[in-house]
Structure 1
Amino acid sequence: MSARVIAVSNRKGGTAKTTTTVNLATALGDRGWRVLVVDLDSQGHAGLGFGVKAAQGQPTVHDVFRGAGASLADGIRGTDYPNVDVLPADRAFEGAAGTVPPLALASALEPLARAYRVVLIDTGPTADALLVSALASAHHVLVPTLLHHLAIDGVGQFARSFFRVATTLNAGLHGMSILPVQVDLRVTMQREILERLAAQFGRERLLAGIRPDNALAEAFGRQRPVKYHRPRTRSVEDFELLCDNVISNIVTAGR
């Protein structure tokens, strides 16, 4: 059975895409689900969140964008965490030299996905060909967002990219879920933004959010998921709830 492919995306930077990818992958892996993390952002931070990075000359996911027919299997690295593998980024990648076939990544991931239950693609804050490639490969998208006024515009811009890919390149791209981060509902503005997001995109697309937690940044500094840094912190609870939602509403619901 082939994996469900979930892109973690937003056209804005600083919205906790990588934090979400690393800690959701860990929660899924701890429950026995085999997960492949695809680090499509050339910063390579999703790999670093597990202590993984590619040395110069080693295979990476970005090999797909350097020529047709690249095989990615040799690039997959195991991690120290149950059931989680990483396909790392090329941290020297500066963009494709020519036109990137929008389905090249989907084709390259297809044989890998048979060995996993979930593939999580961490994307960079961009609207370029790599983001289109990620959306063209996915069944579902998680959109982490801060709850400030620009969030409405940012999610709206991303939604336009989502629907364009879903209607022209990838008929299997069925769902988009919005994940609020740094959530503190004591703040009036955050409650207002949540209501506006629900009104504009549908309350069913809103997931329970991730609360602020300094342990998340500390864990990244140690290149490990927060659950293995401070297991009793509140963000661990939040990612476990997110994991519940992903399993019931995205992974198993899509089968």
Structure 2
Amino acid sequence: MTDRSGLGGDTDTEEARRAALVDSLPRPSADTPLLAELQLDARRRIELKGRKFPRPERTRVITVANQKGGVGKTTTTVNLAAALAQAGLQVLVLDNDPQGNASTALGIDHRAGTPSIYEVLVDGAPMHEAVQESPDVPGLWCLPATIDLSGAEIELVSMVARETRLRTALDVYLDWRTTQGLEQIDYVFVDCPPSLGLLTINAFVVAREVLIPIQCEYYALEGLSQLLKTIELIQAHLNPHLSVSTILLTMYDARTNLAQQVAEEVRTHFPERTLRTTVPRSVRISEAPSYGQTVMTYDGGSSGALAYLEAARELAERAAPGAARNDIPAGVPAGSAQEDQ
């Protein structure tokens, strides 16, 4: 049987080899920012390439959300998903955005008429009839979005249990995989539009965790307080198990004081939720979707790909058996998180 946790008899030897290679790298100083960047990429390449990430005890369902547009929600969704799948995990992306950008980046067919999340939400079609596997990354699956989804907001208004239709469909799909003898899905990522409508509410209700990408630019925290209030309302009325577990800083440029100030401010407000890893501005990240790929397959050795790979490792290790819990409910001060009852 494959050891999906990444633990084997020669684990200590492999870790020692990686550590020795990292120690042999030249030491940068404050006067050598370019060397520091190259050293960081080299360290990540040594430590992460070919590594298997730990499997969570149960399926983690994570909605990637931010009411502010252009912060890298879809980019973060598809690249974290691809990174985890490359590390030996089974990952499903639910493309809940009518633009269908996540489907494009994963190389998934989402032309009009393709079975999609629209049929699942509006017609109650079984999810397994619409889920497709990514052609580039084994173990990475996607429920695509087509242009039909743009009309779903209106059609859902009059439906029974309109806020829980995605959760019900996902539960049935996960049970179906079990009955078919398929591997358990380890991670489900939900990509949603920036507007707060029934599609986004469905995304919050289906999840247990929220991951918020925040760009390291001016107005980065604008709208975040409103997003947290929205999540608190979802917790109170529709999904008491929902929590803001993770914040990821994106579009980080270490050469600017502004990026450093924004990063410091976010870490001050949300110290336990913010990942240590920051995702840099990267031409490769921007180019990849135009080729129908994530940056993980487009240029896996680029700074952007290595940053998402390290962020994925952080995300996975936080949920590893025995790891400290980090899923703090919205509005609860750091340090007072409680286990779900």
TM-score by length of 1: 0.91
Farther-moved stretch of structure 1 (129-138 vs 148-157): 148-157
Corresponding residue number in structure 2 for 1:97: 155
For 2:64, the aligned partner's letter is V
CA distance in 1, matches of 2:143, 2:192: 13
For 1:205, the aligned partner's letter is R
Q: Which runs of 5 or more residues in structure 2 are unaligned?
A: 1-56, 176-183, 326-338
Contact 2:66–2:73 (Cα < 8 Å) also in 1? yes
> Could you list the per-position Cα deviations for residues 112-154 of structure 1 after superposition, in whole angstroms to 9, with x for gaps in the alignment?
2354111111111111111111011111111112122322122
Contact 1:140–1:250 (Cα < 8 Å) also in 2? no
Choose 1 or 2 for highest CA Rg.
2
Tell me how many residue pairs correspond in the alignment: 253
Cα pair distance change 1:176/1:60, threshold 3 Å: same
> Could you list the per-position Cα deviations for residues 9-34 of structure 1 after superposition, in whole angstroms to 9, with x for gaps in the alignment?
11111111111111111111111111
Counterpart pick for 1:166 among 220, 235, 246:
235
| CA deviation after TM superposition for structure 1 residue 250, in Å | 4.1
Residue 131 of structure 2 is aligned to residue 76 of structure 1? yes
CA distance in 2, matches of 1:98, 1:120: 22
Residue 71 of structure 2 is aligned to residue 15 of structure 1? yes
Residue 119 of structure 2 is aligned to residue 50 of structure 1? no
Contact 1:113–1:119 (Cα < 8 Å) also in 2? no
Counterpart pick for 1:205 among 261, 273, 282:
273
| CA deviation after TM superposition for structure 1 residue 232, in Å | 1.2
For 2:147, the aligned partner's letter is R
CA distance in 1, matches of 2:245, 2:143: 23
SS in 2 for 1:248: helix
Farther-moved stretch of structure 1 (116-125 vs 56-65): 56-65
CA distance in 1, matches of 2:283, 2:64: 21
CA distance in 2, matches of 1:65, 1:228: 30
| CA deviation after TM superposition for structure 1 residue 229, in Å | 1.5
> Could you list the per-position Cα deviations for residues 192-228 of structure 1 after superposition, in whole angstroms to 9, with x for gaps in the alignment?
222322333x211111210011011221111112122
Farther-moved stretch of structure 1 (245-254 vs 163-172): 245-254
CA distance in 2, matches of 1:16, 1:164: 24
TM-score by length of 2: 0.69
| CA deviation after TM superposition for structure 1 residue 191, in Å | 2.0
Corresponding residue number in structure 1 for 2:169: 108
Cα RMSD over matched residues? Answer: 2.0
Greater relative CO (CA pairs within 8 A, separation 6+): 1
Corresponding residue number in structure 1 for 2:122: 66
Contact 1:75–1:87 (Cα < 8 Å) also in 2? yes
Corresponding residue number in structure 1 for 2:247: 178
Contact 1:44–1:53 (Cα < 8 Å) also in 2? no
Contact 1:36–1:120 (Cα < 8 Å) also in 2? yes
Q: Which runs of 5 or more residues in structure 1 are unaligned?
A: none
CA distance in 2, matches of 1:61, 1:109: 11
SS in 1 for 2:94: strand
